[in-house]
Amino acid sequence: MTAYTTDRVLATGGPAEGRDLGLSGARRPRVTVVQSSPDVTLDRFTDWLTDVDVHLVRADLGEPVPGPTDVGDGLVVLGGHMTAHDDVRAPWLPALRALLAVVSATDVPALGICLGAQLLAVARGGQVQVAAPPGREAGVVDVRWRPEAEQDALLSGLALAAGPARTTPQPSMHADAVVDLPRGAVWLASSSVYPFQAFRIGSAWGVQFHPEASRATLQAWADAHEDVDTDAVLAQVDARADEVESAGRALAGAFAGVVRARAAVRAPV
C-alpha cells in the first residue's frame, strides 16, 4: 500500500504514529483508493481531495484489497480496462466487489468511478452489460441531473449549480455500462447515451463519468481505442476545459467534505 497525502508525500515504513496528523495535531481523515489499471489513476483528484490522507492500493500490482475495517474514513475505487466480471484478467475483482458490498452498507463514504461504479452496481445486485449496444461513450458528455440529485449529500452542489439546463459537462470513456440499478439505489443522473451516469446506494456513490481525468489522460485513453477520434475528444475537452475542471474539483471537494464530516462524528471525544 502506498501512502501519500494530497499536499505532501508520507514516507512508507517506520512507526505509523503521527503520520495522520495535520498541523493542528488532529487526526486527518484517511481515504483508501484502489487502482486497477496503471494508466487509470487518481489523476487530478490527487490535488483536489483536500484535507484528507490518501492511501493508494495498487491492486493491479498485486497489493491486496483491504478489508472493510481497514479502509479508514472513505473509499475510492477507480476505473480500469477490464470488465466488472473479468475475474481471470483481474483476480482481485471478487475481493473488490465484496469490499464495496460491505462498505456501502455501512456509514463509510465510498465513490466508484467508471469501472468502480460498475463494480458497485454488481456488488449490490445490479447488472452491467459488456460492450453495451449504444457503443463507446468518449469525450465530454453532458451529465443530466435528476431531481433527486438536488438533495444528495455529494452531488447537490453540482446539480444546483447546473441551472435550468440541469447538465454538467464531464469526461467519459467507457463501453460497458450499468443497465439495471441495484434494488434500493437512488438514480441521480443520466446522459443522452446511457441512463445511469450517477447513483447512490447506502453510503456509496457510483459515477460512470471520469471527474478526475485530465486532458493528457483522456488523450492517452483515446489513442488506445481504434473506435475513438482523439482529435474530436480533445476538441471537446478544450472547448469546455474550465467547466470540466470546475465540476471535477467541486465533486472531489464534496467527497472529501463528506469524508471529513463522517470522521468528525466518529472521532473519539
- pLDDT value at position 154? 98
- pLDDT value at position 268? 65
130 neighbors 118 (Cβ within 8 angstroms): no
Is residue 212 flagged as an active site residue?
Answer: yes
Q: Cβ-count burial of 169 within 10 angstroms (0-12 exposed, 13-18 middle, 19+ buried)?
A: buried
The rounded mean pLDDT for the chain is: 91
Percentages helix, strand, coil for the chain (3-state, rounded to 5) are 35, 25, 45
Give the contacts of 172 (CB within 8 A, at least 6 positions apart): 137, 138, 139, 140, 141, 191, 208, 209, 210
Model confidence pLDDT, tens digit, residues 210-250: 999 999 999 999 999 999 999 999 999 999 999 999 999 99
Question: Residues 150, 174, 212, 243: which is the catalytic one?
Answer: 212
Is residue 174 flagged as an active site residue?
Answer: no
Q: What is the mean pLDDT of residues 71-88?
A: 98
Q: Is the pLDDT of residue 86 over 90?
A: yes
Question: Residues 55, 114, 137, 174: which is the catalytic one?
Answer: 114
189 neighbors 195 (Cβ within 8 angstroms): no
DSSP assignment letter at 92: T
- pLDDT value at position 7? 35
Question: Residues 55, 137, 174, 210: which is the catalytic one?
Answer: 210
Is residue 63 flagged as an active site residue?
Answer: no
